[in-house]
Each structure stands twice: as C-alpha cells, then as structure tokens.
C-alpha cells in the first residue's frame, strides 16, 4: 500500500525537526523519517544554541519530539529511507527499509553529515569527550587549556589558537604547511610535532597522544579537522546539481535544481551548527509551504 502525504522530511535532527514544526503549524501533512544516526550523538552538550546552550543532545531531541507531538498532521517515524524515486506528476515515492511507501509532493533532505576521523586508534572512541571537531561548538569550554590539533596543513591550528595559545600542532608525519602559514604558526608560538602517531588514549581528565617513537604528550583535548561527507546521497541520485566541491547546490531557501527537492541543515554545508541547521529547516519549510500553496 502506498500512503500519501504532502511533505516527506528525511532526517529528524535539528534541521528536519524544525522544518516539521513549521510545516505542522502550516497544517501540512508531514512525515519525518529518522534513522536515529545523529552527528552529535557522542557529544555531551550542544553549545551555542540560544536558550539551550549546554543542553544534552538527547534532551534537545526529547524536547523537539514533544513539541512535534502537539501537531496532529506531523508524524515522526523511526525508519530508514532506503530509496526515493521521482514519480509523475510532480511527486516522489519514498521507500523505507522497514517497508513503508509514501507518495509526497515535496521532499526535504535533512540527512546531515558524518565525521570521518583520522584513522588513528582511539580517535572514534574519544569523539565528543576528549576529541572535538568544531571550536565554535566546544572551544569555549576548553579555553586556555593545553590542546593539540591534528592537522597536517596547519590551517586549523591557527584558528584553534584563538581559544588556547597552548596548542601543539600534530602533523602525524611530514608537515605540509605553506610558508605563510609556517610564519603565522611561529608568530603564535605554536609547536609543530611531526612524529607519527600510534594512538590516542584517555588519561585522567585528558588525552595522551602516543607516538610510534619517543615520549607521549598529554593534552586536555584534541581538535581534529576531518572530512565530513554527506550521510546520504539522495540529492545526487535525484539529479540535483552539485557544486564544485561535490556538495548539493542549494538556494537561500534550501531549494535545489530539482523542483520539489529541498536540502537543509549540515547537508547543505553552511556553518555546521545545530542552531543554523534548525534555522535552515525553518527557512526551507516556509519555502515548501509557499510552493505548495502555489
């Protein structure tokens, strides 16, 4: 059986949930599919979210779900979207791994990103606790603490130094730092450590960087500048135009080159923060509602 609704939102993080709230308030029939893989699942607190600064990600989700539950045209399902196909006229068929099939007129992809950490033993286990990816999210709590940056090119290190000048740049092999940046790091008096890393280990309140040779270094936390590929590639498969970095080309209202397909949140690759994702979800929801009204 194929169900019908006006909008399917794929992703129940800040972007998708915020979009569903706005669309619910517009009395739109919305289904949110959420596979439960949140980017900040390992994090203890969401920082920089006005009125919720320091709230745990799980509590923020609980509050979001409780607010969505007030709107009877919004349904949130813990299902994983497996396939989306364009279907005439002006409709999409969304299929989940759990067997649901829904036809909708508009699609919001709020599927977020995944953090690809350096392949150093211990990195994944310590994410969100002693290893961090974003100074805007966690820099304040670590201000003036002894830090390290895992960064072969040195660009990230110059940024992190804004929060703590006691920062060591670990390049895990020969540095690839441009001469201008080398001068900048020297001005900032940041030490560059190029020994090969064997692993990261939790120790006391911080983390030890264990090298293949020589003594370990102990730091309060490490920032890593890993890659963040999209968690899903539905937009590409639906034929949305990509930008020169391989991300989806997204308009200010979340629209893509494919009519009826919108993208919001981290997946749109704007500033990667929860409040930005929520704002983008709301903007896309208004655009979707107005497109449906037309």
Ligand X SMILES: Cc1cc2nc3c(=O)[nH]c(=O)nc-3n(C[C@H](O)[C@H](O)[C@H](O)COP(=O)(O)OP(=O)(O)OC[C@H]3O[C@@H](n4cnc5c(N)ncnc54)[C@H](O)[C@@H]3O)c2cc1C
> Which residues of the chain form contacts with ligand X (CB under 6 A)?
10-16, 33-40, 42-43, 46-49, 80-81, 110-112, 115, 127-128, 133-134, 137-138, 231-232, 265-267, 272-275, 277
State the minimum distance, in angstroms, from the CB of residue 5 to ligand X: 15
CA distance 33 to 44: 24
Of residues 173 and 246, the one with the C-beta less far from ligand X = 246
Contacts of 244 (CB under 8 A, 6+ apart): none
Which whole-number Å values give the CA distances from 282 to 23, 76, 132, 168, in the listed order?
8, 17, 27, 40
CB of 29 to ligand X, least distance (A): 18
Give, to the nearest 10 degrees, the angle between helix 14-25 and helix 57-68. 20
Report d(CA 239, CA 253) in Å as an integer.
18
Query: Nearer Cβ to ligand X, position 132 or 211?
Result: 132
Count other C-beta atoms under 10 Å from residue 111's C-beta: 29
- Tell me the three state secondary structure of residue 205: coil
**Least distance from ligand X to the Cβ atom of residue 265, Å:** 2
Between 127 and 161, name the residue whose CB sits nearer to ligand X: 127
Q: How far is the CB of 114 from ligand X (least distance, A)?
A: 8
What is the nearest approach in angstroms of ligand X to the Cβ of residue 180?
Answer: 30
What is the DSSP secondary structure assignment for residue 196, as one 8-state letter?
P
* Number of residues that make up the chain: 294
Confirm if 196 and 172 have CB atoms less than 8 A apart. Answer: yes
Report the candidate in 271, 238, 262, 293 with the shortest Cα–Cα distance to residue 19: 262
CB closer to ligand X, 177 vs 235: 235
Edge-to-edge strands, sheet with 261-263: 74-77, 30-33, 7-10, 106-109, 261-263
Radius of gyration of the chain (CA): 21
CA-CA-CA-CA torsion sign (123, 128, 131, 137): positive
Smaller CB distance to ligand X: residue 200 or 211? 200
Nearer to ligand X, 190 or 284 (CB): 284
Q: Please, which contacts does 175-179 make with residues 24 or more away whose CB atoms are closer than 8 Å?
A: 176/152, 177/152, 177/153, 178/153, 178/154
What minimum distance in Å lies between the beta carbon of 87 and ligand X?
18
- Closer to ligand X by Cβ: residue 133 or 157: 133
CB of 20 to ligand X, least distance (A): 11
Least Cβ distance, residue 179 to ligand X (angstroms): 32
Residue among 35 and 289 whose Cβ is closer to ligand X: 35
């Amino acid at each position: 059986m194929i169900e019908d609704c006006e909008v399917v939102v794929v992703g129940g993080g800040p972007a998708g949930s915020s979009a569903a709230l706005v669309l619910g308030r517009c009395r739109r029939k919305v289904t949110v599919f959420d596979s439960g893989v949140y980017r900040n699942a390992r994090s203890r607190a969401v920082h920089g979210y006005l009125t919720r600064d320091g709230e745990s990600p799980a509590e923020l989700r609980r509050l979001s779900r409780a607010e969505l539950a007030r709107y009877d045209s919004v349904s949130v399902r813990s299902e994983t979207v497996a396939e989306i196909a364009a279907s005439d006229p002006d409709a999409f068929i969304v299929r989940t791994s759990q067997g649901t099939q829904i036809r909708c007129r508009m699609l919001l992809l709020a599927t977020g990103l995944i953090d690809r950490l350096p392949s150093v033993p211990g990195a994944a286990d310590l994410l969100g606790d002693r290893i961090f990816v974003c100074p805007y999210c966690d820099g304040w709590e670590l201000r003036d603490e002894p830090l390290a940056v895992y960064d072969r090119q040195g660009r990230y290190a110059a940024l992190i130094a804004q929060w703590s000048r006691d920062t060591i740049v670990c390049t895990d092999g020969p540095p690839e730092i441009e001469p201008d940046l080398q001068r900048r790091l020297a001005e900032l008096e940041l030490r560059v450590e190029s020994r090969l890393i064997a692993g990261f280990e939790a120790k006391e309140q911080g983390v030890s960087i264990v090298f293949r040779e020589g003594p370990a270094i102990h730091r309060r936390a490490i920032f890593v500048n890993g890659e963040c590929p999209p968690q899903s590639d539905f937009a590409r498969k639906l034929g949305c135009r990509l930008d020169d970095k391989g991300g989806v080309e997204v308009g200010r209202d979340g629209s893509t080159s494919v009519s009826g397909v919108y993208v919001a949140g981290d997946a749109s690759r704007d500033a990667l923060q929860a409040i930005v994702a929520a704002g983008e979800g709301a903007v896309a929801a208004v655009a979707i509602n107005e497109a449906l009204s037309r």
